[in-house]
A and B are shown apart, each in its own frame.
Chain A
Amino acid sequence: MLALTATLAGCGTSNGVVTSNSSASQANTTGSSVNSLTGAGSTFDYPFFNKAFYVYGSAHNLQVNYQSIGSGGGIQQFTAQTVNFGASDVPMNSTEISKAQAAGGPVIQIPITLGGEAIAYNLPTVKQQLKFTPSVLADIYLGKITKWNDPKITALNPGANLPSIPIVVVHRSDGSGTTYIFTDYLSTVSPEWNQKVGKGKSVNWPVGIGGKGNEAVAGNVHNTVGAIGYVELAYALQTKMAYGLVKNAAGNFVAPSPDTVKAAAATKPTVSATNFSIVNAPGGNSYPISGYSWVLLYQHQKNKAIGSALVKLFDWMETTGQQQAASVDYVPLPTNVQQTALNDLKQIQ
């Protein structure tokens, strides 16, 4: 009977938490062993979460079920409290937060991993790594530069033997944090982009074709001579696509890599859910097209055992777990950002 009530209580306070066997139900009273947690959200985080949750789970007898249904879905399920945590590539905005707050109390958002975006292109005749400035990238995506041998590109890349072929612009068609970071960057560096298009997970692209997911963007770039597209750094590194150097705020041409993305993030230790953009970051070695991904948690956990299991899990994810990020070509968080996140986690009761 005790076990039954405990199970029922578990269901009542937090749906989606499977406390099926008796040891877990009993544990709710002692407060030490929840053996299953659920989360939902960002697809970008999935490869990292998949690996990290497995590693943590086998060591701590905890199964973390993460559904990569997209950030929007993650926010929705988190608000409906059908999952224990949500994950989103862009932190919840004030409307979303007030909705979630009304449902489950104050929300804590912590950065969980970093992503950079490579500018990939397909120009078999060009042997050197191409250089791009912010204005050239904006003009290409605005449809103002239409040929690869445009004087603005050739001036940046002397001797690159750029062909006189049309530029085929490729972008993501599915709503994604990758698009958010890229359009956030273009909005930051180009007033015209900011005014005409703006930033978002989906935008009204002036030119180009859309591919669903990194694989379709990469596929379109790979298939089409003259194509250019933005892809997640991990994806670009693993598929060995040709990608360019981008001029950063300090005036240096920088290649995307875990180091340069981390350098950009480290310039802003006070990152928070309301002030999170790190595109076009200062610093000589900063790669300008980067951004964070976030985990969403309720500050007041109704079930204390689940609350403490969540805190333990994400304490680990913010510290030791970051090595798992590096192993799948994600960018580990700088230590100052880890510290901020750990402090935020302490508020969870």
Chain B
Amino acid sequence: MRGVLCLGRILDRLTSWWFWISALLIGTLLVLFFIMLGDQSGASISKFSWKFLFTSTWDPVHQIFGALPFLYGTAMTSLFAIVFGGVIGIASALFLVYFTRGRLRVILGTFIELLAAIPSVVYGLWGLFVLSPWLQNYGEPFLARVLGFLPLFHGMPVGVGYLAAGIILSVMIIPTVTSITRDILLAVPQDLHEGGLALGATEYEVIRNISLPYARAGIIGGLMLGLGRAFGETIAVTMVIGNRPEISASLFAPGYTMASVIANEFTEATSHLYISSLYEVGLVLLVVTILFFGVARLLIWRVSHVQKGRMV
């Protein structure tokens, strides 16, 4: 009996060590990434300092590097994706949870999750050969006709550009947003839902006033995971964004993202400063991603805090 107890305790101890080591390992990896990127970016940081973030010339021949257009492109396309893909993703989750039952819900849910399993290069090729010609011939001329008074829809329709990249990213993050939102909504206690209905609220009122507020923190979390994917997505965006380091108000214009420029130029970059600048773009991407996740955590924390306060 004593031996068994002792063994149990040793196992306990070992398991907790193992958990500790795993957690430390992940933290260490992140720190190491920072150190490596910071170290490799040294030449670029000391040469350009803050100008790197606020200038927009990217000229490998004359060794002048400024990353502003890439920052702008990443922000613009990700924002587009989170608005466009977020709205559709949440709506489709609401549909799955409140307007379908049983087998249909499972089948539709599986379809949406399968979207997440498509490799991004396939999205990219689809974007290049199907989406962008369609945008060029129909989508963009239509938008220019209807919404042409906005600067967002000015310029020549070329097909590839911010719009195409934003749409591709939207499609890519929908499965993440939908499946997380669906799971969160399913976790809303049935009592609350039925209570609302019993008080005479319509289905829409229950969704708006009870389910969505209850699930808010989780939905924001889902959106942030989607945003994380949009930030880092490389190949699909590279295929359709036009790869032009230029800041333009128009969604039709070609642009560039941080991940794309690394993917495009890293393999053939030879000079030290050039490689260093590409590393710095990677460092900036990592910092921006971490900042966003920090803000998201804060948002989730505040939302759930307020919620708890209200419920007490």
Contact = CB atoms under 8 A, between A and B. Distances in A.
Interface string A74-97: 010000000000000000010110
A188 interface: no
A167 B268 CA distance: 28
Contacts of B244: 205, 208-210
A199 B61 CA distance: 7
Given A197-B61, A198-B61, A224 B159 contact: yes
Interface in B229-273: 235, 238-239, 242-245, 254, 260, 263-271
A191 to B, nearest CB: 15
B238 A166 contact: no
B243 A173 contact: yes
A211 B61 CA distance: 19
Contacts of A166: 156
Contacts of A201: 60, 268-270
Interface of A: 43, 69-73, 75, 93, 95-96, 166, 168, 173-177, 197-205, 208-212, 216, 219-220, 223-224
A199 B60 CA distance: 9
Scoring B57, B58, B239, B267 by chain A CB atoms within 10 A of each residue's CB, the highest score goes to B267
Given A198-B61, A203-B61, A174 B242 contact: no
Nearest to B128: A219
Contacts of B158: 168, 209, 224
Nearest to A41: B267
Given A72-B269, A204-B57, A212 B264 contact: yes
Given A72-B268, A210-B264, 12 more contacts: A69-B267, A71-B268, A72-B266, A96-B270, A173-B260, A173-B264, A174-B265, A201-B60, A209-B161, A212-B243, A223-B159, A224-B158
B170 interface: no
A204 B58 contact: yes
Nearest to A42: B268
B137 to A, nearest CB: 9
A227 to B, nearest CB: 9
B58 to A, nearest CB: 6
Contact of A202 (B57, B136, B268): B268
Contacts of A43: 267
Contacts of A70: 267-268
Nearest to A89: B268
B19 interface: no
B59 A203 contact: yes
Given A96-B270, A174-B267, A200 B132 contact: no
A294 B19 CA distance: 51
Contact of A200 (B61, B129, B159, B160): B61
B62 interface: yes
A69 B268 CA distance: 9
A209 B160 contact: yes
Contact of A223 (B136, B254, B260, B263): B136
Given A209-B160, A212-B243, A224-B159, A204 B60 contact: yes
Given A70-B267, A175-B267, A209-B160, A216 B128 contact: yes
A260 B129 CA distance: 32
10 contacts: A72-B266, A72-B268, A173-B243, A173-B264, A202-B268, A204-B62, A208-B244, A209-B158, A212-B264, A223-B128
Scoring B60, B128, B132, B268 by chain A CB atoms within 10 A of each residue's CB, the highest score goes to B268
Contacts of A219: 128-129
B240 to A, nearest CB: 9
Nearest to A202: B60
Given A173-B238, A204-B60, A223 B133 contact: yes
B202 to A, nearest CB: 48
A294 to B, nearest CB: 14
Nearest to B132: A223
B267 A72 contact: yes
Give me the 8 closest cross-chain CB pairs, A-B, nearest first.
A175-B268, A70-B267, A210-B243, A173-B243, A204-B59, A198-B61, A209-B242, A200-B61
Interface in B66-112: none
Contacts of B133: 223
Contacts of A202: 60, 264-265, 268-269
B139 to A, nearest CB: 13
Contacts of A73: 267
A70 B239 CA distance: 18
Interface string B161-173: 1000000000000
Nearest to A199: B61
Contacts of A224: 136, 158-159
Contacts of B129: 219, 223
Contacts of A216: 128, 239
A167 B79 CA distance: 31
